[in-house]
């Protein structure tokens, strides 16, 4: 048999179609019948929306049988690139398949306690959390609206979060009992997300006044005892006076 070689390409992992993430296929060359020549590698122009770096290395010697081809894309899909290996009059092709999935855009989420309750004249708080997604790192502004618009005040501290991440404290104050819906909005450029907090303000319950007492006793009992003592004193005094009169007579 005549010395020859085979050429193939591995299937790389799926990469995001963000225009920068690379999918890399390994080109594998295997000699046949003691093939010892150098093999020059090249690829045909890639399909639209696919950009590829040059094959590294562009020439494979007998001692090095592997090379790589890396590509990126701005559009999700599956792409095929034809790779050509040439050594003198010998030429073989291989197909490298690249797969790209839609890239998630950077963004953020906002969360807070779903409900808060407190008594009229008091205050309550809720943590408002902003979490980044997919590399988001822009500043986020916070604002609150209340429905109905009167009866409850809301303050946010801080009202601006740098780097698209952090926690703000929402403080609720009210002197008017009732139910309120607070919508907290997080805005960064054209991105806007909201979360809702249901606030219940309860009426203040006034305890009935404590009954008045005299020397720690209910007035009726106190004056009943006091009257009984007076009667006993009067009766005792009268009895003593009568005995004195009898003894004199």
Do residue 126 and residue 79 come from a single domain? no
Do both 138 and 86 map to the same domain? Answer: no
Range of the domain at 230: 210-242
Instruction: Label residues 123-140 b or e (16+ Cβ within 10 Å = b).
Output: ebebebebebeeebeeeb
Q: Tell me the average pLDDT across 84-92.
A: 94
Whether residues 173 and 188 fall in one domain? yes
CATH code (residue 113)? 2.60.40.10
Segment 51-58 shows an average pLDDT of: 96
pLDDT of 190 higher than 60: yes
Q: Count of domains in the chain?
A: 3
115 and 196 co-located in one domain: yes
CA-to-CA distance for 85 and 83, rounded, in angstroms? 7
Confidence of residue 129 (pLDDT cuts 50, 70, 90): very high
- Do residues 131 and 198 both lie within one domain? yes
pTM of the predicted model as reported, rounded to 2 decimal places: 0.52
Residue 60 has which token pair?
A: 């494979």
Residues 10 and 97 in one domain: yes
Contacts for 3 with CB less than 8 Å, ≥ 6 apart: 31, 32, 33, 34, 35, 36, 37
């Amino acid at each position: 048999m005549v010395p020859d070689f085979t050429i193939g390409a591995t299937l790389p992992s799926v990469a995001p179609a963000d225009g920068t993430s690379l999918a890399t296929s390994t080109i594998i060359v295997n000699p046949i019948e003691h093939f010892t020549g150098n093999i020059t590698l090249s690829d045909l122009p890639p399909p639209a929306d696919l950009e590829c770096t040059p094959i590294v290395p562009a020439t494979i010697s007998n001692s090095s049988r592997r090379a790589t081809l890396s590509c990126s894309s701005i559009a999700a899909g599956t792409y095929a690139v034809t790779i050509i290996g040439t050594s003198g009059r010998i030429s073989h092709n291989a197909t490298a398949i690249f797969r790209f999935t839609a890239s998630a855009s950077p963004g953020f989420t906002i969360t807070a306690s779903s409900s808060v309750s407190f008594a009229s004249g008091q205050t309550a708080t809720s943590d408002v959390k902003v979490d980044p997604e997919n590399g988001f790192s822009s500043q986020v502004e916070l604002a609150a609206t209340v429905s109905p618009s009167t009866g409850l005040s809301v303050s946010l501290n801080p009202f601006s979060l740098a780097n698209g991440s952090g926690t703000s404290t929402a403080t609720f104050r009210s002197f008017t009992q009732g139910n309120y819906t607070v919508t907290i909005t997080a805005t960064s450029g054209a991105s806007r997300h909201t979360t809702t907090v249901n606030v219940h303000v309860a009426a203040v319950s006034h305890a009935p006044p404590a009954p008045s007492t005299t020397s720690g006793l209910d007035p009726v009992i106190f004056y009943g005892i006091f009257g009984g003592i007076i009667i006993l004193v009067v009766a005792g005094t009268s009895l003593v006076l009568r005995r004195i009169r009898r003894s004199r007579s």
